[in-house]
């Protein structure tokens, strides 16, 4: 209902069927790389990104595309997960096609397609179609809006949007999100204009050099935030400080390193050594989040300054609000103390420089089991806590989402896991940690949000949030309407349960 669809009456020239990883349909020219996708977008031409599988660096290419197809991967592969988040039609595991990225050809049986040829991706059925099929616009009509309005009158749990870009924020707002529950700031650093400064920062030997590099990112980042603040017009915006490991910003192949060495005017061996030194055995469990924030404090300082300067700029345009700053991957209370001290002093400096008063709220992202168990250590220091169900699930199970794909099918098939815990919130394990966290923080932290990026599909997850006392859920833009409906649905069910004694209820 919320996406374009292939007109059922349109003829279909089916090349292959893959896994329907993200619904909706789109038509565009084939591109084989993220760079080509960005070029196509710059030319205003819709494109379909075609890859064997996607990697984190492809995020910009995915942003620039209207649909994604991968030869490999399953429902939990990188492409599938990111595409669902972006609301992009996506087909993964399309093993009937064979992609040759070097020669930029896509082969389907005897047929060969090249860059620029047109495909239609039907992410709802999983069909890859040759040429431009006829598409129907999404039916976001008045009846649907009316239904959502009724839902909003009933539900007792907030719905925010995960938005990193103005376009995400606008979509969320169009679907009546009450604020931004999660603004990830790292994608902003992958932007081609900023990546060189980011890399200079990584290669800097002193705090001064790091600050010089970051000063070049500051104005761009400030504009990123100001744009979001303007769009959200006073609604809450939760910004998560920089989270990913630094090696994600470095090239991993020889050619990329050679280019980087030239641009930084360093010997290739230095670049290779630095890349190797930053490589991690388990990046998920490595030097990221607050660990980076404490070890290289200049990054968070720059981000805090960008947030506060954007807050002042917004105030001067008549938008008054209190930004929410969230610290990722905490596991001990002292991490928050250290970051808070620095952010406080940046706030004082910006107030002083701009002669403007503003407030801010500090919060933590609870995504390690230890953070949930020790929620009481954080609660007194912060205004809010937001529960990241994705990382928390990975750590509680000891299971990387990116690596689980290889056996998840077998595991769910044999009933080892009743359901994929990255799709349906594991109430017994992860859920217990969430309740423990909420219980131990209650009365201290003022509000509690829960990321529903992956668990959104089931209204059961929302029911669980209601039960444990989460104030709002936050999900990707295209999930907002569904979350509003599910929240209302579950609120009604909960009220029915309260009103009717268990023994007189019909069995479900």
Chain contacts with its own copies (rule: CB under 8 A): 280-287, 291, 294-295, 329, 331-332, 334-335, 338, 367-370, 373-374, 391, 394-400, 402-404, 406-407, 410-411, 414-417, 426, 428-430, 432-433
Least Å from the CB of residue 428 to its own copies: 6
Nearer to its own copies, 257 or 312 (CB): 257
Determine the straight-line distance between the first and last CA of the chain, rounded to whole angstroms.
28
Nearer to its own copies, 104 or 370 (CB): 370
Specify which residues 105 forms β-bridges with.
100, 114
Distance of closest approach, residue 221 Cβ to its own copies, in angstroms: 24
CA distance 145 to 78: 32
DSSP β-ladder status, 472-475 and 158-162: parallel
Minimal distance, residue 327 CB to its own copies, in Å:
13
Residue number with CB closer to its own copies (47 or 395): 395
Choice between 388 and 449, CB closer to its own copies: 388
Cβ closer to its own copies: 144 or 397?
Answer: 397
379, exposed or middle or buried, with CB in 10 Å at 0-12, 13-18, 19+? buried
Reference 491, options 177, 150, 162; nearest CA is: 150
Q: How far is the CB of 465 from its own copies (least distance, A)?
A: 19
Least separation in angstroms between residue 300's CB and its own copies is: 14
Compute the residue count for the chain: 508
Q: CA-to-CA distance for 276 and 488, rounded, in angstroms? A: 51
Query: In this structure, which long-range contacts are made by residues 203-207, counting pairs with CB atoms below 8 Å and at least 24 apart in sequence?
Result: 203/264, 203/266, 203/271, 203/274, 207/298
Dihedral pair phi/psi, residue 83, rounded to 5°: -60, -45
The helix or strand, by DSSP H or E, that contains position 14, with its residue range, turns out to be strand 14-17
Specify the residue, 152 or 432, whose C-beta has the smaller distance to its own copies: 432
Residue with tokens 């379909």: 48
C-alpha dihedral (454, 459, 462, 464), degrees to nearest 10 = -100
Let me know: does 417 contact 482? Beta carbons within 8 Å.
no
Question: Which residues on neighbouring strands pair with residue 365, listed in sequence order?
Answer: 386
Cβ nearer to its own copies, comparing 9 with 406: 406
For 395, the enclosing helix (H) or strand (E) is helix 389-397
Q: What are the E-state strand segments in 171-302?
A: 180-184, 237-240
By beta-carbon proximity to its own copies, the closer residue of 434 and 466 is 434
At which residue do the structure tokens 């004694």 appear? Answer: 501
Q: Please state, in angstroms and rounded to a whole number, the distance separating the CA atoms of residues 84 and 86.
A: 5
CB of 406 to its own copies, least distance (A): 5
3-state secondary structure of 444: coil
Closest distance of CB 335 from its own copies, Å: 6
- Nearest distance from C-beta of residue 285 to its own copies, angstroms: 4
The residue among 129 and 430 lying less far from its own copies, judged by its C-beta, is 430
Q: CB of 508: closest distance to its own copies in angstroms?
A: 24
The beta strands (E) that lie in 220-305 are given as 237-240
Output 364 or 430, the one with its CB closest to its own copies: 430
Min CB(394)–its own copies separation in Å: 6
């Amino acid at each position: 209902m919320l996406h374009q669809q292939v007109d059922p009456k349109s003829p279909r020239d089916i090349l292959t069927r893959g896994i329907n990883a993200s619904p909706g349909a789109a038509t565009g020219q084939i591109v084989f790389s993220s760079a080509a996708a960005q070029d196509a977008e710059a030319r205003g031409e819709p494109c379909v990104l075609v890859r064997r599988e996607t990697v984190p660096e492809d995020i910009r290419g995915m942003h620039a595309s209207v649909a994604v197809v991968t030869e490999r991967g399953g429902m939990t592969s990188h492409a599938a997960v990111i595409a669902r988040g972006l609301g992009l039609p996506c087909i993964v595991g399309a093993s009937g096609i064979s992609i040759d990225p070097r020669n930029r050809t896509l082969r389907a049986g005897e047929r060969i397609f090249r860059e620029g040829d047109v495909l239609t991706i039907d992410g709802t059925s999983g069909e890859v179609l040759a040429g431009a099929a006829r598409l129907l616009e999404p039916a976001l009509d008045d009846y649907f809006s009316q239904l959502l309005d009724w839902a909003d009158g009933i539900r007792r749990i907030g719905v925010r949007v995960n938005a990193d870009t103005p376009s995400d924020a606008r979509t969320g707002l169009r679907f009546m999100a009450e604020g931004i529950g999660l603004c990830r700031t790292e994608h902003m650093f992958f932007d081609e204009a900023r990546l060189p400064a980011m890399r200079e920062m990584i290669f800097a030997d002193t705090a001064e050099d790091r600050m010089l590099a970051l000063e070049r990112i500051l104005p761009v980042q400030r504009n990123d935030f100001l744009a979001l603040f303007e769009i959200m017009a006073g609604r809450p915006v939760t910004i998560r400080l920089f989270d990913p490991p630094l090696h994600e910003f470095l090239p991993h192949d020889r050619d990329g390193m050679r280019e980087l060495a030239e641009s930084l005017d360093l010997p290739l061996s230095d670049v290779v050594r630095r890349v190797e030194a930053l490589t991690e055995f388990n990046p998920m469990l490595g030097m990221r989040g607050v660990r980076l924030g404490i070890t290289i404090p200049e990054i968070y300082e720059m981000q805090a300054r960008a947030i506060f300067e954007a807050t002042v700029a917004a105030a001067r345009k008549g938008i008054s609000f209190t930004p929410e700053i969230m610290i990722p991957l905490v596991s001990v209370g002292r991490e928050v103390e250290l970051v808070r001290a620095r952010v406080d002093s940046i706030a004082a400096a910006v107030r002083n420089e701009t002669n403007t008063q503003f407030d801010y709220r500090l919060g933590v992202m609870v995504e390690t089991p230890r953070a949930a168990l020790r929620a009481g250590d954080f609660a007194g220091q912060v205004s809010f806590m937001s529960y990241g169900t994705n990382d928390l699930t990975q750590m509680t199970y000891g299971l990387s989402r990116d690596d689980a794909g290889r056996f998840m099918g077998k595991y769910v098939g044999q009933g080892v896991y009743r359901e994929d815990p990255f799709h349906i919130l594991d109430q017994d394990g992860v859920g217990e940690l969430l309740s423990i966290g909420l219980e131990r923080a209650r009365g201290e932290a003022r509000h509690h949000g829960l990321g529903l990026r992956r668990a959104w599909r089931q209204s059961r997850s929302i029911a669980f949030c209601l039960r444990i006392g989460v104030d709002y859920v936050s999900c990707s833009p295209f999930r907002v309407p569904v979350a509003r409906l599910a929240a209302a649905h579950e609120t009604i069910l909960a009220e029915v349960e309260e009103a009717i004694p268990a023994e007189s209820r019909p069995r479900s």
